[in-house]
Structure 1
Amino acid sequence: MAEDYPKVDRVMGGVAGLISIAVPAVLFLYFIMLAPQIAMDAQVWAAEWVPSLGISLSVLMDGLSLTFALLITGIGTAVTLYSAQYLGDHPDYPRFVSYLLMFMVGMLGLVLAGNLITLFVFWEVTTIASYLLIGFNADSAKSRRSALQALLVTGTGGLVMLAGMIILGSVVGSFEIAEILGSGDMIRAHPWYMAILLLFLAGAFTKSAQFPLHFWLPNAMAAPTPVSAYLHSATMVKGGIYLMARMNPALGGTSAWFWILVLFGGFTAVFASVLALRQTDIKQVLAYTTLMALGTLTMFIGAGTDYAIIAAMLFLVVHSLYKAALFLVIGIVDHGTGTREAPVLRGLRHAMPLTALAAALAAISMAGIPPMIGFIGKEFMYKAGLGLPGLGAAWVTVMIFAASVLMFVVAGIVALRPFMGELAKTPKPAHEGPWPMLAGPLVLGALSLLFGILPSTVGFYFVAPATRAVLGMDAEVHLYLWGGFNAALLLSVLTFLAGWLIYRRHEAIRARLAVAEAKAPNFDRGWDNVLDGLKALAAWQTRLIQTGSLQRYMAVMFATFALLVGATLILRGGMGSGINYDAEGVHPIQWTVLALIAMGAGLSTWTSSRMTAITALGVVGIGVALLFIIFSAPDVAITQLLVEVLVVVLVALVMLRLPHLPSRAKSGFRAGHAAIAAAVGLVTTAVMIAVLQTPFDRRLTDFFEIASYPDAHGRNIVNVILVDFRATDTFGEIVVVVIAAIAAYALLRGAPGASPTPAGEPGARGEEEKA
């Protein structure tokens, strides 16, 4: 329903409104000027981004990307002009503009990206921006839920798709889309082809809301009407369609590609069309018809023949024009009457003649009635379906016939019924919308008519280049309004007759669908159940893991380390041929130091005094420092000695200032802790032995030996590495240590009861409490 918010005295959105209109308009003119050049040949521009990973900021401009770019910027101009009037006096309108432009940039980056990783980055930009746009009315619980649902569904699909991109890049040896598209035969013959295909389709199906991941898209109607018009006509939901079309030369042409896309796309188209008849809110009606369009596009991309791809690219343009116009019309109706309920709206043509004209132009194209471009699109879809072999022809033709019939009905519900008859009473007296809101739907409706009368224009500049990009080769594209008497024309006539009959019985059908829907599985409630299950799992894990016991945390971490690393060593044969050592080569002094270390470690585990344990660990550290000295590393030994002395002193001082707390640990020998300690020691020893058995690679050693003095003017290689070659790393470590010291100091000063306990009072010997 019409948005209700505090008004701000701002004309057409002020400066933010002007910027929002100017950006897509300028970009649209730029892309229009490129159209003749791109129609003849694709263009690629590239600049290095992460060359070590083969990632570049490259732009691939061909017919497919140009068609999407024109739809994004052209419809974006209409939407931003509309929203400047529709939301220009909203107190948060500048924030809305920033989200909308962020979304536009994300979509442009997605369709123009010439590198898979760049494409993924912009893919996620659209995910985040759509989350912000759908949840723009943040005070509404419905908006917040819908935004989160869209984010989680599409974001999860994007991450799954990223895995497919990484595998595909490793198979081809490059992330450049142009190279990948030229490696189709090798990819299809690769053992990982099916995994790559399924991972890519997971991302595409979530983005373009294919069944059974369709439920988030109608809920996205919680967004303001301009957002709905933009997302559903030319942008976010078409992202998955773009991905499937773009990857067709590399992943298409197999039976798996054909049947997955054709079956899921066809079912989504018909299923969504039936659900559209169930709705009373005409904005929700259009939301489900978007699902129908996405399913249809998916089905024809999967079919993969020349006619099927031509039909898909033509319908891409057709749907974008009429869907954007109808959403904007609904916004005008909502703005002018205060309601979107189809049973309430009647006779609006008397009060809103221009809105009625825009609605009629868009709806006639949606219904596939000549001379609109929608009629040509429907004819080509029927020809593509009839031209498929075997069962594919039957399935596609039946699905597109059923969907087209229901779209004819929906066109009547959305654009005929609200405007015909006598003017009915509405919550607000019906009145015509202002020109900024009318301009977009009128122009888009007029383009549907113009392209229908002059189809060769859209065919030459858009459909033919886009088809060439999707097929990976040239295809003859000849669009026409009249193709003579044929099977496609007969199906069109049957579509009109069946659609009219269902439209006449629409109210009764809607009532029956309501009864059936109540008994059918509800995917939206299923989503809530999934989230509730995840929350319950998180709560259970929290109760199990977050016990508040530091001892348990440490025991779990060390046990996990010993188990996983030890198992990996055994399963992967990390120990090689076994332990090889020369006991006779160990000097008695070294044995003495090792005995000192062993006694210190044993004392730290045996004693029940915390202070004695800390001191014993200091002995262990000093023993390690002696080993460094024995093996000619005095600088490292000095560092080790300083650390050990400081640790012992600081820990002793801190323990004196800690408040007295009752011990929660059990006294006596702790067999579990002893087992974990022994396991960690054995695994660490095994890892060290395995490393020492590995042939030593001297490339880095040789480099530092050669470069230390000439490049850094130092003969101590360790010091040179720390202060010259890895100076930034060392500085970062210093910063971390300083921050930790400041935090510890602040905690000790601010902790309740942290002041020293006076001598003679209880707790004065807290440092000697039994462990």
Structure 2
Amino acid sequence: MLLSILAGLFVAVGLIFIGKFIKNKWAAVSLTALPLGLFIYFLNYIPQIASGEIIYQKISWIPSFGVDLSFQLDGLSLLFSLMITGVGTLVFAYTSAYLKGHEYLDRFYAYLSMFMAAMLGLVLSDNLISLFVFWELTSISSFYLIGFNNTSEASRKSALTALGITGIGGLFLLAGALLLGSITDSYSIAEMLQNKDFLLQHEFYILAVIFIFGAAFTKSAQFPFHFWLPGAMKAPTPVSTYLHSATMVKAGIYLLLRFSPILGSTEFWNTTLILVGAVTMLYSAFHLLFRTDLKGILAYSTIAALGILVFLIGLGTQEAIIAALVFIVVHALYKASLFLITGIIDHETGTRDITKLAGLRKVLMPVAIAGFIAALISGGVPPSIGFVGKDLIYEATLGMPTNAILLTVIAIVTNILLFYAGFVAGVKPFTGKLPETYEKVHLPSWLMWFPPLLMVSAGMVFGIFPQLLESAFVGPATSSLVNDSEGFHLKLWHGFNTILGLSAITLVVGLLLYFILKPTHRLENFINKLEVISPKSILFFLTNGFEDFSKGWTNFFQNGYLRHYIATIVGFLVVALAFIIFSNFDLSLDVSSFSELTTYEIAIAIMMIGAVIFTVFTNSRLAAVASMGVVGFAFCLLFLFYSAPDLAMTQFSVDTLTVILFVLVLYRLPKYLHLSKNVLRLEHGILSLAFGSLITILVLKVLQEDQNSEITNFYAENSYLLAKGKNVVNVILVDFRGVDTLVEISVLIVAALGVFSLLKLRLKTRDKK
């Protein structure tokens, strides 16, 4: 399984070196072998998984932290793996014609390959930390794909928005992984399942669920995080097809399904998912009525479909889980097809405006056939698999012990609106009279119209023979999520019953809505007026407000004056030290234990005080530097008097070097042009005295504490035995505190590189000004 994931990454890296050779159409088609080979590879596992076998692979990665590359192939992960590689195969082939001759075609395929590898790693991972790594990799690769048209400001903004929202979800997932790992003492999802009862009773259960919800809702575009998905439609059609209908947006759904057996079956879990899913599906389904851009219609219908899936997972019954799994397949087949069809229409006519499109069946007949069948699947018209999926949804809602009628009504309304969206996107562009503008439109390469035709054909085959879908995909996936999954069978015909009546109502009302309500720009302008109160506008308003606050905060503290920075730091330290010291102030010193002041100590103190006063009041930078050097040399004398020649030599070297460097730098600078204002100098003087006083009090408090010689004895006894060094100070710095010293050296190296780069900087005259 690891090789199947690495294959996509290897291809992505390889395209860096051989990408220029795939600019040819048929060379690009050859890359389809990657997802096709992986699709066949996973197909071979169907008999094993269908028989109830679960395949594990574990590779040690960071065992000290409990992080392994452990993978699990069961019914659920197999379903998603086949969807990722199957749709990926068709998208790879479609791209070779859609982006034929594009300057960055190799780059696009590299991003697609990386994304496919990340999605496979995500659905196959059994370790939560490795799942998080692949989760973030999907966000990064999708950022590149959404912003592929990087010359467009709208594309760049959409990519950043998508990365920002899904990036927040990634932080939620990491927090949830760390929390669940600390609770169960393992990052393995399989081991977490064994600790389900303990997790459900844990005090941090609610917090862990909130983290998982945060990750899933942002990735799967649930309200109010949904707005990034319509914006992502700025991406090329293959991206919209692959990421935003079949794979990436289903990552959050996969996460919820995977954790349903672990964290589910509680009131908080079920109620939250039902509410979020219901709001999302109704809100988005309502919004698609006002859209005229084909991609916009499909985007909002995708959000509504994702809301249905979250809604079904929230119901939590076996019927609801089966309905969700079937609907995942249904949605992938018809929505990916409709996106590809939209791409063909846009590619050949130059527009996606549904108010301008009509009669294209006369010039794009195979595409029209694919669009019509996709609309049937989307609307749940028999004998398509969409009909089976819709019936299962109604069966799940009607079977709920409470609020069954309300839940069913919500599902019916959403399905009616999805019926409308499917027919608007799949039927309307091809019916009616062909405008003269499009009479010269011609059928594109079969690599573009064959993939959607193949997917909708599969949707009809699964509808007529649902047993194929049950035995190979839905049955094994259900077994991995539900303890007792026996006793269900997918059927196209269940007889005359309530569910059939509800399906008939959905079809009739949806068809009437399609004929009565015509997409117009007037409706779109109306809904755009309400954009100011949308979640997107509110979030952007808060973001802009935070940005303005950050600028004001930064400009206040980072005003360009070094003295201001130092005063801010010292001021904070004064407040912090004062709080710590005086919150429990108890200072009693035995002055008699202090040694008497000697003449040389008094002389050195007078010398230091005089040098400090001279430094403060002098008008010459060089004189200030020299007087500060006097302070440093006075410390050297103190070290000598207290028998610390090594410290004295170090201090002498540092002070001498500092004075020389400052003199060299400041020699060519003028005297102070303007001295600081007296008020400011007074403030700095008070701040300095306060800081010095607090440090003095702190030193005195340290002196009154009982000395603990345990650490001293340890270093004295072990310096030679463990580190083979007789100089205890050096041993501490180099051996016992080696990492700390290494970091300090690294900081100095970075600072030196910065100084060197500034010295070598050659600015243009314009930049200097």
Q: Quick check: 1:336 aligned with 2:359?
A: no
The Cα offsets for residues 598-657 of structure 1, whole Å up to 9 and x where unpaired, read as 963684256423556545655655566677778887655543443233223333343324
In the superposition, relative to structure 1, how do residues 50 and 578 fare at CA in structure 2: closer, same or farther (>3 Å)?
farther
**1:705: Cα distance to partner?**
5.3
| Between 179-188 and 683-692, the greater mean CA deviation after superposition | 683-692
The Cα offsets for residues 142-186 of structure 1, whole Å up to 9 and x where unpaired, read as 212211221222222322443333333333333332233333333
**1:681: Cα distance to partner?**
4.2
Q: Quick check: 1:248 aligned with 2:281?
A: no
Q: Quick check: 1:737 aligned with 2:745?
A: no
**Which residue of 2 is the match for residue 503 of structure 1?**
514
**Which residue of 2 is the match for residue 487 of structure 1?**
498
State the one-letter code of the partner of 1:235: T
**Native 8 Å contact 1:328 1:441 kept in 2:** yes
Q: Quick check: 1:36 aligned with 2:47?
A: yes
**Which residue of 1 is the match for residue 447 of structure 2?**
436
- Aligned ranges for residues 278-297 of structure 1 at < 5 Å? 278-297=290-309
**1:735: Cα distance to partner?**
5.8
**1:506: Cα distance to partner?**
1.7
2 CA distance for matches of 1:598 and 1:44?
77
Q: Quick check: 1:466 aligned with 2:477?
A: yes
**Which residue of 2 is the match for residue 22 of structure 1?**
33
**SS across alignment from 1:47:** strand
In the superposition, relative to structure 1, how do residues 428 and 351 fare at CA in structure 2: closer, same or farther (>3 Å)?
closer
**Which residue of 2 is the match for residue 94 of structure 1?**
106
Q: Quick check: 1:561 aligned with 2:561?
A: no
Q: Quick check: 1:177 aligned with 2:189?
A: yes
**Native 8 Å contact 2:23 2:102 kept in 1:** no
Unaligned stretches of 5+ in structure 2?
1-19, 764-769
**Native 8 Å contact 1:596 1:619 kept in 2:** no
2 CA distance for matches of 1:16 and 1:639?
66
- Aligned ranges for residues 50-61 of structure 1 at < 5 Å? 50-61=62-73
State the one-letter code of the partner of 1:389: P
**1:299: Cα distance to partner?**
0.6
| Between 465-474 and 370-379, the greater mean CA deviation after superposition | 465-474
**Which residue of 1 is the match for residue 427 of structure 2?**
416
Unaligned stretches of 5+ in structure 1?
1-7, 753-771
**1:722: Cα distance to partner?**
4.9
**Which residue of 1 is the match for residue 436 of structure 2?**
425
The Cα offsets for residues 56-107 of structure 1, whole Å up to 9 and x where unpaired, read as 3322333222222221111111111100111131011111112222222222
**1:593: Cα distance to partner?**
5.8
State the one-letter code of the partner of 2:469: V
2 CA distance for matches of 1:665 and 1:13?
70
In the superposition, relative to structure 1, how do residues 513 and 280 fare at CA in structure 2: closer, same or farther (>3 Å)?
closer
**Which residue of 2 is the match for residue 309 of structure 1?**
321
Structure 1 counterpart of 2:330, from 318, 323, 335: 318
**Which residue of 1 is the match for residue 410 of structure 2?**
399
Percent sequence identity over aligned pairs: 41
**Which residue of 2 is the match for residue 608 of structure 1?**
617
**Native 8 Å contact 1:46 1:57 kept in 2:** yes
**Native 8 Å contact 1:401 1:491 kept in 2:** yes
**Native 8 Å contact 2:99 2:105 kept in 1:** yes
2 CA distance for matches of 1:551 and 1:570?
27
**Native 8 Å contact 2:128 2:187 kept in 1:** yes
**1:395: Cα distance to partner?**
3.2
**Which residue of 2 is the match for residue 769 of structure 1?**
none
Structure 2 counterpart of 1:107, from 119, 122, 129: 119
**1:386: Cα distance to partner?**
0.7
- Aligned ranges for residues 330-729 of structure 1 at < 5 Å? 330-391=342-403, 393-427=404-438, 429-471=440-482, 474=485, 476-507=487-518, 515=526, 518-519=529-530, 521-564=533-576, 566-567=578-579, 578-579=586-587, 583-588=591-596, 596=604, 600=608, 603-604=611-612, 607-609=616-618, 614=625, 617-618=628-629, 621=632, 635=646, 638-667=649-678, 670-681=681-692, 702=714, 706=718, 709=720, 713-720=724-731, 722=733
What is the TM-score when the length of structure 2 is the normalising length?
Answer: 0.86
The Cα offsets for residues 683-718 of structure 1, whole Å up to 9 and x where unpaired, read as 656777888969969689858954x55675433344
**1:491: Cα distance to partner?**
0.9
In the superposition, relative to structure 1, how do residues 712 and 271 fare at CA in structure 2: closer, same or farther (>3 Å)?
same
**Native 8 Å contact 1:267 1:399 kept in 2:** no
2 CA distance for matches of 1:253 and 1:624?
70
**Which residue of 2 is the match for residue 153 of structure 1?**
165
**SS across alignment from 2:667:** helix
In the superposition, relative to structure 1, how do residues 276 and 608 fare at CA in structure 2: closer, same or farther (>3 Å)?
same
Q: CA RMSD in A?
A: 3.6
1 CA distance for matches of 2:536 and 2:758?
47
**Native 8 Å contact 2:21 2:27 kept in 1:** no
**1:504: Cα distance to partner?**
1.6
**Which residue of 2 is the match for residue 193 of structure 1?**
205
**SS across alignment from 2:303:** helix
State the one-letter code of the partner of 1:465: P
1 CA distance for matches of 2:337 and 2:263?
34
| Between 209-218 and 46-55, the greater mean CA deviation after superposition | 46-55
The Cα offsets for residues 548-590 of structure 1, whole Å up to 9 and x where unpaired, read as 211111111222233346546777xxx6x94576555544589
2 CA distance for matches of 1:518 and 1:296?
27
1 CA distance for matches of 2:680 and 2:370?
85
- Aligned ranges for residues 745-764 of structure 1 at < 5 Å? none
**Native 8 Å contact 2:363 2:439 kept in 1:** no
1 CA distance for matches of 2:128 and 2:118?
14
**Native 8 Å contact 2:126 2:189 kept in 1:** yes
The Cα offsets for residues 209-264 of structure 1, whole Å up to 9 and x where unpaired, read as 11122222111111000100011222221122122222223332222222221112
| Between 697-706 and 209-218, the greater mean CA deviation after superposition | 697-706
**1:729: Cα distance to partner?**
6.6
**Which residue of 2 is the match for residue 138 of structure 1?**
150
State the one-letter code of the partner of 2:144: L
State the one-letter code of the partner of 2:658: V
What is the TM-score when the length of structure 1 is the normalising length?
Answer: 0.86
Q: Quick check: 1:77 aligned with 2:93?
A: no
1 CA distance for matches of 2:72 and 2:286?
38
State the one-letter code of the partner of 2:204: W
The Cα offsets for residues 349-372 of structure 1, whole Å up to 9 and x where unpaired, read as 232222122222322111111222
| Between 325-334 and 187-196, the greater mean CA deviation after superposition | 187-196
How many residue pairs are counted as aligned between the two chains?
738
State the one-letter code of the partner of 1:480: K
State the one-letter code of the partner of 1:372: S
**Native 8 Å contact 2:58 2:71 kept in 1:** yes
**1:298: Cα distance to partner?**
0.7
